Amino acid sequence: MKKYIDNFLQYRFLLGQLVKKGIKLKYRRSYLGIIWSLLEPLLTMIVLSIVFGTLFGNHTREFPVYILTGRLLYSFFSSSTKASLRSIRAHSAMIKKVYVPKYLYTMSTVLYNYVIFLISLIVLVIVAVVLGVYPTIYLIQAPIALLLILVLAYGCGMILATIGVFFRDMEYLWSVALMLVMYTSAIFYYPERLLKSGWDWILQYNPLYCIITIFRASIFGELMDMRNFIYAAVFSVACLVIGMVVFKKNQDRFILYI
């Protein structure tokens, strides 16, 4: 373990540079730059609030905040895992020329998306205050959800990065899978809507939904469901462990396929 920690500390400066590079490249052709990370979730929230507020009859003041909490976490998970899937192939030129621990490329991809995600939380704070959703003592649960979503994204990212090297079509398959994840994360509808259909049990097996419910509980002043926490924590850590093992066992063969 000490060997891996020392190796990470040795390359921490490079990791920081890769994170900065990722943020710059993401907005290099955008006139609004980093400001778009604030505008995009705000505009998406407005559209979803109008459409699904009308469709499902959700006219409460808190509904836009409900949507935004789910949308922000899902957007981070989606963008970070998509980028992670391409992270090794995207840095193929550097990998062929100089030795750098390959996991840094995937880690930096997740981290720069995480930084952008944290910045976008400013929108949530503003919208919550405007709509009268004020912080309570339960807000201390928010870091738990933020940590879990980071671990889950990195764990899935390591698995996807490995598969993406050997199986290029995974990029298209994952886009379809993310659509399923989105619709089972209760981003723009209340879970109670599925009770009558008998399909509400599906949500409980989606770790992202569990993390989103923990985050929403912290925002709306409620105690988080311990079952959601335990399931999300176990699933996230398991993904991380599996991802690291799979990545480590296959990383020496990456050079043959990129």
Q: What is the DSSP string of 105-154?
A: HHHHHHHHHHHHHHHHHHHHHHHHHHTT----GGGGGHHHHHHHHHHHHH
What gap in Å lies between CA 208 and CA 149, rounded to an integer?
7
pLDDT tens, position by position, 136-186: 999 999 999 999 999 999 999 999 999 999 988 898 999 999 999 998 888
pLDDT tens, position by position, 53-66: 776 666 777 888 99
**Measured CA distances, 97 to 75, 92, 186, 209, 232 (Å):** 33, 9, 45, 41, 39
pLDDT tens, position by position, 95-139: 888 888 889 999 999 999 999 999 999 999 999 999 888 889 999
Tell me the pTM: 0.91
Q: In angstroms, how far is CA 111 from the centroid of its own chain? A: 10
**Of 36, 44, 30, which is closest to residue 73 (Cα–Cα)?**
44
